[in-house]
Copies of this chain bind each other. A is one copy, B any other.
Amino acid sequence: MALIVMKFGGSSVGTTERMGRVAQRIVDKKLQGDRVVVVVSAMGDTTDDLIDKSKEINDNPPAREMDMLLTTGEQISVALLSMAIHKLGHPAKSVTGWQAGIRTEAVHGKARITDITPDRLHKALDEGNIVIVAGFQGMTDDGEITTLGRGGSDTTAVALAAAVKADVCEIYTDVDGIYSTDPRIVKNARKLDAISYDEMLELANLGAAVLHPRAVEYAKHNNVNLVVRSSFTQNEGTLVREEAEMEQGVVVRGIAYDKNVARISILGVADIPGVLAKIFTALAEAGIDVDIIVQSGVQNGKADFSFTVSLADRSRAMDVIGGIRSAVPYDEATYEENLVKVSIVGAGMVSNPGVAARMFEAISKLGVSIKMVSTSEIKVSCVIAAEPVQEVVRALHTAYGLDTADTAFVGGPQDRR
């Protein structure tokens, strides 16, 4: 008898009819003889509707009160899902985050889970119940209601799976699993049977919005077996687990791309010690996340920098750069939009030095110029013009052998240059 955590997102329970189907799916699992803990998000547009209502009243509401407001969305979901399971003739108990023993930091809007005391869950399971936990929420030591921020329900599911020592944490979503790349632009994109935490983390950060990075980190840290699968089909899904257990020889697991990119360039920066620190401290203080940073060589005591930010942060970043000009003299600051960041991700990359070169070659063969490059142990990213992104992703998918079903690209000696 396995202990399983099943997590359903808002669209899976978006209507009462869908909720009925989810209930059936949960009951099927129970009938297989498993003990089941379910984590559920707010139904469909509930959270957005609550946010809209709050804006009518106060365009800058206190974060504490937003947490009070938004946590009702998941509480409604768990109560209704429990009713749907009862309707099918099975005992179920819904619980809020605080009732589930989920403790968090004393931060509103994006608290981290500090501790879970699952006594109540175990008791309800022992009584034969399916236990349904409100995702996205917890309680501080002072009894204040908090939310976990974006991707919070994924994190709730993974954290509960770790706390109750679940055999597996299944994340139900509207796709069949993790794909080698976006199936909307590459028709040969294939669903991966398995992927490592680190690879998933890179893909999650790169805009494959299936699993939230925080949840993946939590799973990695607590060694929770994650499965990403569809709430609409019975397909197997993708298993996310420790790298050590991965297939041999796979170099590139997937190709990701991110259109939410702007490049800012600061030209002719005086090469004074501490200049870089000043620029990026100012950006960090303004709450602007900087992704890729590239510095040219120094010429005549001056250097050029480029970095990428999200499109939404572009204007503010330019303001910050303008504001520090007296402290950091430079000739000119410019920005560029209509860009895309294309990345190859794979845990096998670290021992295959030719992998990046093959990427550059595939891109340049298409006559596309690479504007920036960034690498990590399991990832290479290139910033290019947005327009040819589809051809580039398709070419990379072919270049790394991802078009052919089970054998992903295997790096050989000829690539070790």
Residue of B nearest to A101 (CB): B143
Question: Chain B contacts of A68 at CB under 8 A?
Answer: 75, 78-79, 82, 94, 96
CB distance from A138 to the nearest CB of B (A): 14
Q: A325 at the A/B interface (Cβ < 8 Å)?
A: no
CB distance from A370 to the nearest CB of B (A): 48
Which residues of chain A from 71 to 113 have any CB-CB distance to chain B below 8 Å in the complex? 71-72, 75-76, 78-80, 82-84, 86-87, 93-94, 96, 99
Question: Chain B contacts of A165 at CB under 8 A?
Answer: none
The prevalent SS among residues of A at the interface is helix
Known contacts A16-B56, A93-B64; A76 and B69 CB within 8 A of each other: yes
Question: Chain B contacts of A311 at CB under 8 A?
Answer: none
Q: Are A62 and B76 touching (Cβ within 8 A)?
A: no
Q: A164 at the A/B interface (Cβ < 8 Å)?
A: no
CB distance from A64 to the nearest CB of B (A): 7
Question: Chain B contacts of A83 at CB under 8 A?
Answer: 54, 57-58, 61-62, 65, 69
Q: Are B94 and A57 touching (Cβ within 8 A)?
A: no
Q: Are B86 and A62 touching (Cβ within 8 A)?
A: yes
CB distance from A124 to the nearest CB of B (A): 11
Q: Are B65 and A69 touching (Cβ within 8 A)?
A: no
Q: Are B84 and A57 touching (Cβ within 8 A)?
A: yes
Contact of A58 among B53, B65, B86 (CB under 8 A): B86
Question: Chain B contacts of A87 at CB under 8 A?
Answer: 57-58
Q: Are A65 and B50 touching (Cβ within 8 A)?
A: no
Interface centre among A19, A58, A78, A94 (most CB of B within 10 A): A58
Question: Chain B contacts of A66 at CB under 8 A?
Answer: 79
> Which residues does A use to contact B, with CB under 8 Å?
16, 19-20, 50, 53-54, 56-58, 61-62, 64-66, 68-69, 71-72, 75-76, 78-80, 82-84, 86-87, 93-94, 96, 99, 120, 143, 145
